[in-house]
Amino acid sequence: MIKLLDILENKILVPLRSKEERGKNYNIAIQKKIQQYIKDGGKGDLDLRDTPITSLPSSLSVGGDLDLNNTKITSLPPGLSVGGDLYLRDTPITLLPPDLKIKGDLSLGYTKIKSLPSGLKVGGDLRLYNTKITSLPPDLKVKGDLDLDNTPLSKSHTKKQIRQMAPGVKGNIYI
């Protein structure tokens, strides 16, 4: 029988994993989750919110929603296709790939994004509230609403001017 004193004196206890090791293991688990999602055919939603993920594999196709809210993602891969909504709120992202495809909403609130790629098409709403957005591409297509609340663009332009700037917005414009 092992006594407590024996354990303490002989250091039989194994220390817990370090914060760095736990973080590394968590990142590995997230990458495995993404690979399994791809292996399963990219169907349904891919929920990665509140994870330390910084990148995604090239040409990723997500059948449903892709939730990257509150992650450390800094860029999106070329060829990214999202069949539902794409959530990027509270991320350090600053640019979107030019070939990004989104059938649902695109949420970029509280990001550092300043501009959008030419030819961007959003099948639902485009939420740019509380961003640093200063311009919109003239060929922007948004089937839903455009939310520009608390942006440099909303402070320097009227709804009418924004509508003229981006005639491809079908829904309401919020400033």
Going across the sheet that includes 101-102, the strands are: 61-62, 81-82, 101-102, 121-122, 141-142
Looking at residue 4, its pLDDT comes to 57
Calpha distance 104→136 (Å, rounded): 19
> Cα dihedral angle (35, 39, 41, 42), rounded to 10 degrees?
0
Calpha distance 44→88 (Å, rounded): 18
Both tokens of 2, joined, read 């092992």
User: Mind listing the pLDDT tens digit for each residue in 6-48?
Assistant: 555 655 555 677 777 877 888 888 989 999 999 999 999 999 9
* Residue 111: burial class (beta carbons within 10 Å; 0-12, 13-18, 19+): buried
DSSP letters spanning 137-158: -TT-EESS-EE-TTSHHHHHS-
All domains of the chain in start order, with CATH: 16-174 (3.80.10)
User: Mind listing the pLDDT tens digit for each residue in 66-99?
Assistant: 999 999 998 899 999 999 999 999 999 998 999 9
Looking at residue 10, its pLDDT comes to 59
User: Mind listing the pLDDT tens digit for each residue in 111-162?
Assistant: 999 889 999 999 999 999 999 999 999 999 999 999 999 999 999 999 999 9
